[in-house]
Amino acid sequence: MLCGMGPVLYAHSANVHGERQLLVEHLRNVASLSQEFARLFGGGEVAFLAGLWHDVGKADPRWERHLLECEAGTRERIGLDHKCAGVLLEEGAAGQPGLVSLLIHAHHGGLKDRFRDFQPWLSEKRKLDGPSRAIAALREVMPDLTGHSAPTLPPFVAAERDAEFFLRMTYSALVDADSLDTEAHKLGGAPPERGKGFTLPNLWERYEAFLNRQPPGADSPVNRVRRDVHRSCVEAASSPPGMFRLTVPTGGGKTRSAMAFALRHGIEHGLRRVVVAVPFTTITQQTAGVYRDVFGDDRVVLEHHSAGAETADMGSDDESYSEAAVWQRLASENWDAPIVVTTTVQLFESLFSNRRGKTRKLHNLAGSVVILDEAQALPPGLLSPILDGLRRLIENYGASVVLSTATQPAFDLIKELREVDACELVPDHARHFEALERVKYTWKADVPRQWNEVAGWMREERSALAIVNTKRHAMELLDALGDGDALHLSTLLCGAHRSQVIEEIRRRLREGEPCLVVSTQVVEAGVDLDFETVFRAEAPLDAVIQAAGRCNREGKLDGQGQVVVFASPDGRVPPGAYETGRDTAREVRALFPDAPPDDLRVLRAYFERMAERIPADAHGVQEARTALDFPLVAERFRMIDEDTCDVIVDWPEGQSAAIERLVDQLRDRQGSPRTALRRLQPYTVSLRRREYERLTTEGYVTELPGFRELGRWQGRYDSVRGIVEANPELIA
């Protein structure tokens, strides 16, 4: 087809208005947007050329013909490579394939290994004449396609890992730009707004207005500490961007104070957004709720985790999604929001992923404040790549990072942070810990305690929380307790069920009703609950301290709350780092028998020993990064080191029909599978693969065709215990 002086070339088939997108238009749009996204970290030239050349192969007449056949329904897929032409253009400009070529090669299939994947692919594609034909055809209508010189790289891209991280960030800019322009074409206009134009100064005004509406709190030790922490955080905001520590005792108000620092710091230094990462989904929901109370607008706080906010309304159809729910879904794709609340798993597995969908958001970390809440929960065996990634974000991508916790780990012992000068936001935090000695620790770990004995201790209390180390232990303690009103929290419950149980616990505690709870570690770090007594099975030292944070949290008891640490009957704990932590805690307690576990000397001794015993790069992630082997990095960087499958459960009662409709959508491939999966996620329970396979064989699970790791639970789902037929030890 000819139009004027050259062929009419299309990038995408007809949209909702029956209009096709011109290839020249798409290439120029993506080049401009990629450049804009990457300019902040010096990647603008690389991103511009990657965007300009990424789809040049679509000018091949065969590709154009196949596009029209697919549109007409006479062909299912195009099946022709359209990436090699862009690589040849970089060769012409720079003399050899470089970073631009790696980005073009990856822009659909994900980042690859340069030796094992890219070079063999290029050797094979060089034999074809299609790429040269495409370049010749496109030059007729796009004179600026050629004539470019090799892009200038920022000076920090020197060693392999610098190049590796730069590739990740620039790749993110490219694929986000490509996705946004393609989305705009399909919708027949500009892509839907995500960030909505809120700035950090806007949000600071809302934050101050919220504070001014709050009644003055009582002059209690807890409130004095909270005010002091908040003041220190605001005063520290003018510090230069970098690494910061926020050390605050549990209940000391770090959620709001960290945000106050982030907003003021961002305003002082021209940063763009705040990203808050927490260890568990339940804390994500809680933290996002706190910030929505402060900022109000649903399109300010993006809550992004596996059970996204848009899943809450089980009965609605896609068309009836609220505007806020649609925004949550869209903004989750690239984190284009002023405040993002996510999980550490989502953050870091995206940072070290090689997949297009996961990495798309990364460029929006540049120029941001990243708050790592409960930083002590980061996996010890992955600390080298995690801390190295954070350091590079700070040094080369204009970010600031806040490590927020009541138990600061000894990260300065890890080589990636040895030369990083971390600024303490609350320098006199030791005084706050002394002021908030709200609990007394009692150790009953000299001999194993039977569950009947632990249950007897609990029955003597009005409100008590028992935290154990395995789901089997939780079931055995529930059996021993024999209390029909007792509540239970573990991953035997689906996520939506756990959230409801937490709300019921809060209601009982608020209204002074009896409240006995048996839980695994899911309740431990950051969940705002306030019991009079906490019983904790022996665990890593930081886990014991976090458990104590659920006791007398608000300091309302006349005396101190009681935290009892006991030895379980069989002493079983999760293997690996958790078991090492439990054993190290025993050893350090023997060295400091009269000191509480949150004594700074005890904590330092504990974390020093943990750093010696668990390699900070236990899985060889850094070696794979140096080799630019992106698939191997993604394979080795797994924060949840378990092979699991999910089962969809019928909960709550009366929702089975709505759940079944979504399951039918998956079975019959109706509508968007991604949307159905998102909406089902809060109603799933994870099983270890061998247990999933056994239960499938025994008829408890019906597999969904085409979904290898997702099934329908056919067994009983208990309103207290969750999945009950399975062996709790085999459930993730």
What pLDDT is attached to residue 402? 98
Confidence of residue 309 (pLDDT cuts 50, 70, 90): very low
* Distance of alpha carbon 496 from alpha carbon 499, whole angstroms: 5
Torsion of CA 251, 259, 496, 379, to 10 degrees: -80
- The upper half-sphere exposure of residue 288, i.e. CA atoms within 13 Å in the direction of its Cβ, equals 27
DSSP class of residue 302?
E
Given a cut of 70, is residue 318 above it in pLDDT? no
In this prediction, residue 660 has a pLDDT band, given cuts at 50, 70 and 90, of confident
User: Under 8 Å CB-to-CB from 264, ≥6 apart: which residues?
Assistant: 204, 234, 237, 238
Least confident of 162-176, 443-457, 594-608, 643-657: 643-657
Band of the pLDDT at 229, cuts 50, 70, 90?
A: very high
For the residues 269-293, what does the mean pLDDT come to?
90
Cα 344 to Cα 287, 377, 380, 547, 628: the distances in Å are 13, 9, 13, 20, 23
Q: What is the pLDDT of residues 24-55, one digit of tens each?
A: 999 999 999 999 999 999 999 999 999 999 99
Of 62, 34, 55, 58, nearest to 46 (Cα)?
Answer: 34
Predicted pLDDT of residue 188: 81
The pair of three-digit structure tokens given for residue 675, joined into one six-digit string: 């949307």
- Which pLDDT does position 307 carry in this prediction? 47
Q: What φ, ψ does residue 641 adopt, rounded to 5°?
A: -90, 60
* Confidence band, pLDDT 50/70/90 cuts, at residue 1: very low
Question: Taking all residues of the chain, what is their mean pLDDT, rounded to a whole number?
Answer: 89
Block residue for tokens 């011109």: 22
- For residue 725, is pLDDT > 80? no
Residue 194 has pLDDT above 70, yes or no: no
Which one-letter amino acid corresponds to residue 462? R
| CA distance linking residue 543 with residue 406, whole number of Å | 11
Alpha-carbon gap, residue 38 to 49, rounded angstroms: 12
pLDDT in tens, 601-646: 999 999 999 999 999 999 999 999 999 999 999 999 998 766 789 9
Instruction: Quote the pLDDT of residue 413.
Output: 78
Amino acid letter, residue 13: S
Q: Please report how many Cα atoms fall inside a 13 Å half-sphere around the Cα of residue 581, on the Cβ side.
A: 24
Q: How far is CA 121 from the centre of its chain?
A: 33
Q: Which of residues 725 and 163 earns the better pLDDT score? A: 163
Half-sphere exposure of 568 (CA within 13 A, CB side): 20
Residues 6 or more apart in contact with residue 674 via CB below 8 angstroms: none
pLDDT bucket at 523, cuts 50 / 70 / 90: confident
Residue whose structure tokens are 């505007």:
323
Q: Residue 665: is its pLDDT beyond 90?
A: no
Q: Is the dihedral of CA 353, 387, 395, 332 positive or negative?
A: positive
pLDDT of residue 106: 95
pLDDT at 729 over 60: no
DSSP code for 50:
H
Residues 6+ apart with CB under 8 A from 73: none
pLDDT tens figures, 346-365 = 999 999 999 999 999 999 99
Question: What is the distance between the alpha carbons of residues 421 and 266, in angstroms, rounded to a whole number?
Answer: 19
- State the pLDDT at residue 48: 98
CA distance 374 to 210: 25
Q: Is the dihedral of CA 385, 387, 388, 393 positive or negative?
A: positive
In this prediction, residue 320 carries a pLDDT of 37
Decide if pLDDT at 335 tops 50. yes
Q: In whole angstroms, what is the distance from residue 19 CA to residue 287 CA?
A: 44
Torsional sign, CA 357, 355, 158, 51: negative
For 360-438, strand residue ranges (E) read 368-373, 400-405, 423-424
Q: What local confidence, expressed as pLDDT, does residue 478 receive?
A: 96
**Average of per-residue pLDDT across 80-109:** 90
Instruction: Grade residue 310 by pLDDT with cuts at 50, 70 and 90.
Output: very low
Q: Indicate the pLDDT class of residue 471, thresholds 50, 70 and 90.
A: very high
Residue 204, pLDDT above cutoff 90: yes
**Distance (Å, rounded) from C-alpha 67 to C-alpha 709?**
33
Instruction: Give SS3 for 325.
Output: helix
Of 69 and 256, which is predicted with more confidence? 256
What's the confidence (pLDDT) of residue 280?
81
Our separate counts of H helices and E strands in the chain read: 28, 23
Residue 15 has pLDDT above 90, yes or no: no
Q: List pLDDT tens digits, range 539-594.
A: 999 999 999 999 998 888 989 999 999 999 999 999 999 999 999 999 999 999 99
Question: Is 240's pLDDT higher than 60?
Answer: yes
As a whole-number percent, the residues of the chain with pLDDT over 90 amount to 62
